[in-house]
Chains A and B, each alone.
Chain A
Amino acid sequence: MLKQLECSRAIAEVIARCRPEVVCAYPITPQTHIVEGLSELVRDGTLAPCEYINVESETSALSVALGASAAGARAYTATASQGLLHMAEVVYNVSGLGLPVVMTLGNRAVGAPINIWNDHSDAMALKDAGWIQLFARDAQEAVDLHVLAFRLAEELSCPVMVCVDGFVLTHSVEPLDVPAQDDVDAFLPPYRPVQVLDPTDPVSIGAMVGPEAFTEVRYLAHHKQLQALERIPQLAADFRARFGRDSGALLHGYRTGDADTIVVAMGSVTGTIEVAIDELRDAGLAVGAVALCAFRPFPLAALAGALGGAQRVVVVERNLAPGLGGAMASNVRMALRGQPIPVYTAIAGLGGRPVTRASLRRLIEAAHADAVDDLTFVDLDNDAIDRELARWDERRRSGPSAENMLRDARRAR
């Protein structure tokens, strides 16, 4: 049943219906109010039995989830931005130990400069930590992916990070369907761990592994990701059969069939891209779009298939890999290896800058005419950069760049 809900609230409700037995939270900025919602649901008895554990740092939040999972509990936490980086060591431990923790990442930029707004820098920083990473294209998918994530994580004994664009999705109030308890129970069986810390049947978890077996243990992390490539489409089909909508996939294609130019993106920018694609189609341009849902595992074959007929690809990404371009585009190029078509990288929406339909239209039109650089920054204020570069040239002690550029921006206003 559709209800008008804030996405974060709806995620809290669906998490509760997934019956986690341990929820860990370090609820300070940067954080979404998902864990706040969950604390209410635990307190009022809606989510029971569940141990809600307030901890003293992000490292502790994920460490407690790790311990809970190792003890056989379904464990959940949420974080964002610097919070994810703070817990980075544990992020690797959870996947390295093969523990099926599910964590929401309310995607936000990583400082400095300090910034609390949306982009994908946080997810990209830990893209290779061995977690499955699923990106929600809209608020409904953000809700639904969590149900799918618990099932996928527990089947493979591999953690899943559900990436939900901070603010743009987490703070949006719109009609959302929170999957019903009966349906969630039918879709998501109780957790049956492959390893468990049990005093009646003692094992140790987390042995030191030397060169004799490290590669092989690590290989298993890759193997699980390959298994996920197979399982994600199957689980999405199961989800569709039970819940009646398309949520979760390796990727979602939009008007790609006869498209000469295809835009590849992830997350909340998908809807705006689709509107831009419709407008450009009306103007006679053969353009389409692909929204990646799975970023890890990266769907090389599925993406190569979806991009098959295109003459060029534009990757719109909310992260910057300084010294290279974009983390996503280099992955997309891997899917197109052997095909001599251009893959343009467009960096957009960093630190919460809106990615507008108008800018997307301009970008796609230019790319369609092969009139963009390999690497382009959408809506970049070149004058602001030139002024700062001039200050660098002018004198050694040019001062802090962020402050200089903010001062310029204020003056311009």
Chain B
Amino acid sequence: MLEIRIHGRGGQGVVTAAELLSFAAFREGQYAQAFPSFGSERMGAPVVSFCRLDHEPIRLREPITAPDVVVVQDPTLLQSLDVFAGLHDDGWVLVNSSRGFADLGLAEWVERFPRGHARCVPATEIARAHLGRPLPSAALLGGFAGLTGAVALDSLRAAIRERFAGDVGERNAAAAAATFALTRPEPARC
């Protein structure tokens, strides 16, 4: 089972991201469970969503406290929350930032992860370029697919197009593909 936790802020599509990931995995015949950190959501407030992927039916219903993957949609959360709490040392880290881990003060910390398991991607900039809006979810999911290989880019794009009709779907799918390309070919750690 692969357990993914997504951190962001209300309005950034954090819950939608976990759902899209589950739709993509479902397309591949995986069992997928997506759920939000339940609460009264407010724009800008910290929000968490969860996704479990497995090859057999998923029975667990607890929040993910020991994730295999942490996706951070908004790096300003790093100052106020322990977004990486419980993350396995052989897990994956994907942070939305046009700066590197060094600038975020995490250079030493990410050394613990296997090579290629921790990446920063400029998802907001990629989203702006493709959507004209700073909504980084789809771009980050492309990065997730590239980084972990847990879902194929095509499944992700199909899930995005299914959820968002027409032009919005196409633009988000393109944003996902752009980040996928960035993360795919084992680049040096940023």
- The residue in chain A whose Cβ has the minimal distance to the Cβ of B21 is A173
A172/B62 contact (C-beta < 8 A), A4-B26, A117-B38 known: no
A261-273 interface bits toward B, Cβ cutoff 8 Å, 1 = contact, 0 = none: 0000000110110
Q: Is A402 an interface residue (CB 8 A)?
A: no
Task: Given A173-B19, A174-B22, A175-B26, decide whether A357 and B35 contact each other with a Cβ distance below 8 A.
Answer: no
Q: Using CB atoms, name the residue of chain A closest to B58.
A: A174
Question: Is A118 close to B, CB under 8 A?
Answer: yes
Q: Which residue of A lies closest to B15 (CB)?
A: A171
Count A-B pairs with CB separation below 8 Å: 64
Interface residues of A in 125-146 (CB under 8 A from B): 138
Contact of A352 among B22, B32, B38, B61 (CB under 8 A): B38
| A117 to B38 Cα, complex, angstroms | 7
Give A173 to B19 CA distance when docked, in angstroms: 7
Tell me if A167 counts as interface (CB < 8 A to partner B). yes
Among A138, A167, A175, A269, the most chain B Cβ lie within 10 Å of the Cβ of: A175
Q: Is the CB of B61 within 8 A of A4?
A: no
Give bound CA distance, A138 to B35, whole Å.
14
Q: For window 98-140 of chain A, which residues contact chain B by CB distance below 8 Å?
A: 116-118, 138
Counting CB contacts under 8 A, is A93 at the interface? Answer: no
B19, B23, B26, B38 pick with most chain A CB within 10 angstroms = B38
Interface string of A169-191 (1 = CB under 8 A from B): 00111110000000000000000
Of the candidates B31, B36, B40, B61, which one forms a contact with A272 in the assembled complex, judged by CB atoms under 8 Å apart? B61
Interface residue A274 (Cβ < 8 Å from any Cβ of B): yes
A residues near B65, Cβ cutoff 8 Å: 356
- How many residues of A are in contact with the other chain, CB < 8 A? 25
For A168, what are the chain B residues with a Cβ–Cβ distance below 8 Å? 35, 38, 61
A305 at the A/B interface (Cβ < 8 Å)? no
B63 located at the interface, meaning its Cβ lies under 8 Å from any Cβ of chain A in the complex: yes
Smallest CB separation, B106 vs chain A (Å): 22
A residues in contact with B18, CB < 8 Å? 173
A171 with B36: in contact, given A268-B61, A271-B61, A272-B60 (CB under 8 Å)?
yes
Residue with the greatest number of chain B CB neighbours at <10 A, chosen from A6, A172, A269, A272: A172
Complex-state Cα separation, A174 to B65, whole angstroms: 20
A residues lining the B interface (CB < 8 Å): 2, 4, 6, 116-118, 138, 167-168, 171-175, 268-269, 271-272, 274-275, 352, 354-357
